């Protein structure tokens, strides 16, 4: 209660003084009571009206005649001038309550995003000179070893040195199921160690962690406006002056046409116009809706880099997708090694492993894991042939390792590898002869099939798979998933060309991928989506939407959030404008009083805010009463109170 009274002292003082004024005026009448209740009305008005008049003065100094503060002040002074003291005070009091509710809602929306900041640990246990010391994570250098005890958060990105560990990754991925990571696996800042003490070799500085990047992206997202937001901001700049001049007209024009013109009556109606004219509730509820959508998405492991992308995703009708690491697990396993033209299987594996030794491609990692360090050869002059494979020299012999197209480009006859249509094949050529084939399998992610079905249900009419893998594998995966088209054997340039040709011919086009070779296409698409869980930094950097978990089903969830957000935003726009116009019409005919104006301003704003908060409630679990947060510091309260959106002045 003490925190409540301190934070909302203006409203509390005003409400008490207003109550006393009403009691003295209508219940406890005595000689000279009118002077007493006028004093109480004055105290009540100054408590909430003083800060508003200060803001009005500041806006007038900037040349803004139509700020909500000045218009509200004029309306309330006018109410006092014609003896409507209670109504004049009530306008300011309920306006201030509305302001607190608005700022509380914005704070809650921001809090749902900035809660990520709490995931950044402020201490790290680092091994130095034979001791373990506690320092701030920013003081830890890359390649140093840190320890993380059970229940603690990982302070920095790194590689697990311990044999294995279980981590809660929900802060970054939105996935509640613990992840088991084994030795040499990647660990990110913000993960929570669940079962045993572990040691981690740091690979990124404090400011370069994945979590820091997420925070920066989400904070930047709040600055990017959707078309609807820009429309409402422009509307507010026109709407307010129009209503003000209508109020002037309502005051004086009837004198020309009304036989029994009473200035006080028409002036009262004009005051109602001034109160109704404030567009703050309308303008704040729109960005609040988008901000709530961004926050709710981030709580579910989906990062929108701006509300414009939130708005664009709901209109996506065509989605192009990568295969490996996006719709499949991207965790390959060697199934079979085949030898041809006189070479044995061990030699085939050793040659391929030697050339793939420095590659970071998932297929190369699978081959090296299968070889288990038993490769006997050293490769020289390795060169990458984009989208096809590698070339080099082993024991002064010319060696090629890659896909079928690589060997065919070098006029090398390819031997039959048998029935391997659903596997990826890696071919080996030594001195111009096909000497071996490695068959490698990948698996669909658990939710890939259901994700495609859900995308269909949401109206994404065309689904196309683009992959560098061989056509047989891509066709098999495409048929299993149920996509419309599946194109294999593509180079990065081919993917770019296909998507580029579709842009302009089709409605909003999206592309989802995870590898560095997908970055150009993600940049090109109307909506670029990165599977950020295992995606490359380049891909995440260029994407418009980042799926932190490796779950294709999150794409449909992102679409669902974007559509629900859009629906809530337009409900607020229609409701707010409709009520305001309706009350103004009633006021013009003398059928509305100041209390109706208060509802059209503060009441409509509160209803719009509650409606916007439904987004957070549906996807994040936050309720309406959470906007009245009593834990903020006084400094935060003073910073947020008595302010409105930029569009209102």
Active-site residue numbers? 322
Which residues are CB-neighbours of 349 under 8 A, at least 6 positions away?
Answer: 337, 367, 370, 371, 374, 375, 436, 438
**Eight-class DSSP state of 506:** B
* Three-state secondary-structure class, residue 415: coil
Q: Are strands 509-513 and 527-531 parallel, antiparallel or unpaired?
A: parallel
For residues 217 and 537, what is the distance between their CA atoms, to the nearest angstrom?
A: 13
Instruction: Determine the Cα–Cα distance for residues 24 and 40; give it in Å rounded to an integer.
Output: 9
* Cα–Cα distance for residue pair 32/395, rounded to 1 Å: 112
Question: Hey, how many other C-beta atoms are within 10 angstroms of the C-beta on 339?
Answer: 17
Which two tokens mark 310?
């939130």
User: What whole-number distance in Å separates Cα of residue 12 and Cα of residue 140?
Assistant: 49
Residues 155-180 as b or e (16 or more Cβ within 10 Å = b): bbbbebebeebbbbbbbbbbbeebbe
CA–CA distance, 116 with 215 (Å, rounded to integer): 7
Measured CA to CA in angstroms, residue 283 lies from 62, 68, 415, 583 at distances of 21, 12, 68, 18
DSSP 335-401: EEEEE-TT--HHHHHHHHHHHHTT--SHHHHHHHHHHTT-----EEEEEEETTTEEEEEETTEEEEE
Distance, in Å, from the CA atom of 42 to the CA atom of 17, rounded to the nearest integer, reads 9
Count Cα atoms within 13 angstroms, Cβ side, for 402.
Answer: 24
Residue 379: phi and psi, rounded to 5, are -100, 145
Rounded to a whole number of angstroms, the distance between the first and last alpha carbons of the chain is 33
The answer to whether residues 335 and 349 touch, using CB atoms and an 8 Å cutoff, is no
- What's the rounded Cα separation, in Å, for the pair 31 and 582? 43
Q: Is 329 exposed, middle or buried (0-12, 13-18, 19+ CB in 10 A)?
A: middle
On the CB side of 415, how many CA atoms lie within 13 Å of its CA? 17
Quote the CA–CA distance of 209 and 155 in Å, as a whole number: 9
Strands 145-148 and 179-182: unpaired
Q: What's the token pair of residue 270?
A: 């004009």
CA gap 393, 397 in Å, rounded: 5
DSSP structure class, residue 591: -
Helix, coil or strand: residue 304: strand
510/523 Cα distance (integer angstroms):
10
8 A C-beta contact, residue 479 and residue 458? no
Measured CA to CA, the distance from residue 369 to residue 361 in angstroms comes to 12
């Amino acid at each position: 209660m003490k925190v409540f009274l301190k934070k909302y002292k203006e409203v509390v003082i005003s409400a008490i003084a207003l109550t006393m004024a009403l009691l003295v005026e209508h219940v406890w009448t005595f000689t000279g009571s009118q002077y007493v209740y006028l004093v109480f009305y004055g105290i009540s008005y100054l408590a909430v009206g003083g800060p508003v008049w200060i803001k009005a003065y500041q806006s007038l100094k900037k040349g803004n005649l139509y700020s909500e503060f000045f218009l509200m002040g004029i309306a309330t002074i006018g109410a006092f001038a014609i003896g409507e003291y209670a109504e004049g005070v009530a306008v300011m009091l309920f306006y201030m309550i509305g302001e607190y509710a608005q700022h509380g809602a914005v704070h809650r929306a921001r809090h749902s995003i900035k809660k990520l900041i709490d995931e950044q640990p402020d201490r790290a246990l680092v091994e130095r000179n034979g001791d373990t010391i506690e320092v701030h994570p920013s003081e830890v250098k890359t390649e140093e070893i840190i320890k993380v005890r059970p229940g603690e958060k990982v302070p920095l990105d790194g590689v697990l040195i311990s044999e294995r560990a279980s981590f809660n990754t929900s802060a970054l991925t939105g996935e509640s199921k613990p992840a088991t990571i084994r030795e040499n696996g990647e660990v990110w800042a913000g993960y929570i160690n669940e079962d045993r003490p572990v040691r981690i070799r740091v690979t990124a500085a404090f400011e370069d962690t994945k979590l820091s990047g997420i925070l920066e992206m989400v904070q930047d997202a709040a600055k990017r406006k959707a078309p609807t937001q820009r429309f409402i901001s422009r509307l507010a700049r026109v709407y307010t002056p129009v209503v003000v001049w209508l109020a002037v007209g309502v005051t004086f024009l009837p004198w020309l046409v009304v036989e029994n013109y009473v200035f006080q009556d028409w002036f009262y109606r004009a005051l109602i116009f001034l109160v109704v004219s404030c567009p703050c509730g309308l303008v704040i509820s729109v960005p609040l809706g988008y901000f709530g959508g961004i926050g709710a998405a981030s709580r579910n492991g989906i990062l929108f880099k701006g509300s414009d992308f939130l708005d664009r995703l709901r209109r996506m009708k065509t989605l192009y997708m990568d295969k490996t690491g996006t719709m499949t697990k991207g965790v390959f396993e060697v199934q079979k090694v085949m030898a041809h033209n006189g070479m044995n299987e061990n030699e085939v594996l050793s040659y391929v492993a030697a050339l793939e030794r420095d590659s970071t491609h998932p297929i190369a990692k699978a081959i090296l894991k299968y070889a288990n360090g038993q490769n006997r050869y050293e490769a020289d002059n390795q060169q990458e042939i984009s989208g096809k494979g590698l070339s080099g020299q082993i024991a002064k012999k010319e060696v090629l390792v890659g896909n079928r197209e690589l060997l065919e480009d070098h006029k090398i006859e390819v031997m039959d590898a048998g029935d391997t249509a659903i596997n990826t094949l890696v071919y080996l050529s030594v001195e111009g002869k096909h000497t071996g084939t490695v068959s490698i399998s990948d698996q669909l992610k658990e939710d890939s099939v259901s994700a495609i079905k859900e995308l269909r249900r949401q109206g994404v009419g065309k689904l196309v798979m683009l992959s560098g893998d061989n056509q047989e594998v891509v066709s098999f995966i495409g048929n299993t998933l149920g996509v419309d088209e599946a194109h294999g054997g593509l180079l990065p340039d081919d993917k770019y060309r296909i998507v580029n040709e579709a842009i302009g011919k089709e409605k909003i086009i999206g592309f989802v991928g995870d590898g560095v070779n997908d970055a150009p296409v993600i940049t090109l698409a109307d909506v670029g989506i990165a599977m950020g869980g295992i995606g490359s930094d380049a891909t995440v950097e260029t994407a418009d939407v980042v799926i932190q978990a490796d779950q294709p089903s999150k794409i449909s969830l992102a679409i669902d959030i974007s559509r629900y957000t859009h629906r809530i935003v337009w409900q607020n726009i229609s409701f707010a404008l409709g009520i305001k116009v309706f009350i103004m019409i009633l006021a013009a005919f003398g059928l509305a009083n100041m209390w109706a104006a208060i509802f059209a301003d503060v009441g409509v704003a509160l209803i719009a805010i509650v409606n916007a908060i439904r987004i957070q409630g549906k996807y994040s679990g936050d309720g309406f009463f959470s906007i009245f947060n009593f834990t903020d510091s006084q400094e935060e309260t003073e910073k947020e109170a008595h302010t409105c959106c930029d569009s209102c002045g």
